[in-house]
């Protein structure tokens, strides 16, 4: 065995075992037939294009849209569902931050304002990503997803600047926690919504996004007129505590499950991902909630945020266990070599 073949076989180890059992010898034969130069065979490496192609194949054999093992198809469904749910969970933030931005028409070139503009741009990009996916425009969705990642990363970098503290931005930790769910969603979009992925059903997702946006607008309209009870911060944090949507979704899961039938495992896994993605944000918010004034002796924001974080973690653990149990009951791919 030459060094090149050894290196290629080492690269192929990123593929699932069942796939290697079926394809490894054939792929190695084809690869080595293409690299005939004796020097290349001894000293060469697989090459950048081949490297990325093998990584892409490793992903598509584990998470796929239509073809492949039942487990890979289920994981594909889970990832797409998680992407849509997390993007949906960003809608209140998009509405709230965009409305606040629209209400302050003057552009201010100051660090804290620029940070806020970037945050708004990141959230807005996630919602346009959702709209693009529902509109059957996956390429546009990926562009918007890239914009969301870029703007959020720049915002994190800004919050890490030494002068950021003077503008009330604090450390980058909260910013990272704030965007963690966005990054998980974008990763799910990139992995799940490939060329072959089926377009999601437009009506239910549009309806859900519309209702959430409407509720956010209504809340923003009435939040200043209904007083300052100690409970207000609990609800007033609606924009960033969209993890409640997950709790509600998890609560209705058993009822929805009657209609979903065999899809319960997929929903459970997807919701577990969503809940886990939102936990860092809630944990980070505990620091802020601790500093908010006490109303009537009750630390409303602190208690509410703690409950939210605990519930999200519980939902992630319980639904994750249910989902993994269901997933493991699916037939595993055969590892024996067979003709295609």
Partner 1 sequence: MIQRPMSEQAFLVLTVLAAAGPKHGYAIMQAAEALNANQPALPVATLYGLLDRLVADELVEGDREEIHRGRLRRYYRVTPAGLGALAAEADRVAANVRAARRALRSTRPHTSPSGGVV
Confirm or reject binding of residue 104 to partner 1 (CB under 8 A): no
Closer residue to partner 1, CB minimum distance, 61 or 120: 61
| 3-state SS assignment for residue 331 | coil
Selected from 60, 98, 206, 287, the binder of partner 1 by CB under 8 A is 60
Stretch that binds partner 1, among 28-36, 140-148, 151-159, 224-232 (CB under 8 A): 28-36
| 3-state SS assignment for residue 323 | helix
Confirm or reject binding of residue 67 to partner 1 (CB under 8 A): yes
Shortest Å distance, C-beta 21 to partner 1: 12
Question: Could you give the dihedral angle defined by the CA atoms of residues 119, 122, 124 and 127, in that order, rounded to the nearest 10 degrees?
Answer: -130
Region of 45 (left: φ > 0; alpha: ψ -120 to 50; beta: rest) is beta
Selected from 25, 37, 100, 293, the binder of partner 1 by CB under 8 A is 25
Confirm or reject binding of residue 37 to partner 1 (CB under 8 A): no
Stretch that binds partner 1, among 26-34, 113-121, 286-294, 317-325 (CB under 8 A): 26-34
Interatomic CA distance for residues 13 and 16, integer angstroms: 7
In angstroms, what CA-CA distances link 205 with 86, 98, 134, 140, 233? 12, 21, 8, 18, 29
Confirm or reject binding of residue 63 to partner 1 (CB under 8 A): no
Selected from 31, 115, 116, 285, the binder of partner 1 by CB under 8 A is 31
Distance of CA 89 to the CA centre of its chain: 10
Question: In sequence order, which residues have a C-beta less than 8 Å from that of residue 50 and are 6 or more positions away?
Answer: 8, 11, 31
Interatomic CA distance for residues 22 and 339, integer angstroms: 8
Confirm or reject binding of residue 177 to partner 1 (CB under 8 A): no
Q: Find where tokens 């249910």 sit.
A: 322
Confirm or reject binding of residue 199 to partner 1 (CB under 8 A): yes
Confirm or reject binding of residue 40 to partner 1 (CB under 8 A): no
Confirm or reject binding of residue 204 to partner 1 (CB under 8 A): no
Question: Which residues of this protein are in contact with partner 1, per CB under 8 A?
Answer: 23, 25-34, 47, 49-50, 52-54, 56-57, 60-61, 66-68, 136, 195-196, 198-199, 339-340
């Amino acid at each position: 065995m030459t060094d090149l073949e050894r290196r290629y076989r080492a690269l192929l180890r990123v593929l699932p075992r069942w796939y290697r059992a079926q394809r490894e010898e054939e792929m190695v034969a084809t690869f080595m037939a293409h690299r005939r130069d004796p020097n290349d065979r001894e000293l060469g490496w697989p090459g950048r294009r081949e490297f990325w192609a093998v990584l892409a194949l490793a992903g598509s054999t584990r998470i796929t849209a239509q073809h492949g093992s039942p487990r890979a198809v289920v994981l594909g469904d889970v990832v797409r569902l998680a992407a849509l749910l997390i993007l949906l969970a960003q809608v209140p933030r998009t509405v709230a931050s965009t409305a606040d931005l629209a209400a302050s028409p003057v552009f201010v070139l100051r660090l804290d304002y620029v940070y806020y503009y970037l945050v708004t741009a990141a959230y807005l990009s996630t919602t346009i990503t959702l709209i693009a996916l529902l509109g059957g425009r996956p390429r546009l969705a990926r562009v918007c997803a890239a914009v969301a990642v870029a703007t959020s990363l720049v915002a994190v970098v800004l919050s890490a600047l030494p002068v950021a503290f003077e503008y009330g931005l604090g450390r980058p930790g909260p910013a990272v926690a704030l965007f963690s769910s966005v990054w998980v969603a974008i990763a799910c979009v990139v992995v799940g919504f490939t060329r072959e992925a089926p377009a999601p059903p437009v009506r239910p997702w549009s309806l859900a996004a519309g209702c959430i946006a409407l509720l956010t607008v209504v809340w923003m309209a009435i939040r200043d007129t209904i007083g300052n009870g100690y409970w207000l911060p609990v609800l007033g944090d609606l924009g960033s505590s969209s993890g409640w949507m997950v709790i509600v979704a998890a609560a209705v899961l058993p009822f929805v499950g009657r209609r979903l039938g065999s899809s319960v495992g997929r929903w459970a896994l997807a919701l577990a991902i969503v809940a886990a993605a939102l936990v860092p944000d809630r944990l980070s918010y505990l620091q802020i909630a601790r500093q908010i004034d006490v109303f009537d002796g009750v630390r409303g924001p602190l208690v509410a945020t703690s409950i939210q974080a605990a519930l999200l973690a519980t939902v992630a653990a319980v639904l994750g266990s249910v989902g993994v149990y269901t997933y493991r009951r699916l037939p595993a791919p055969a590892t024996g070599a067979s003709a295609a």
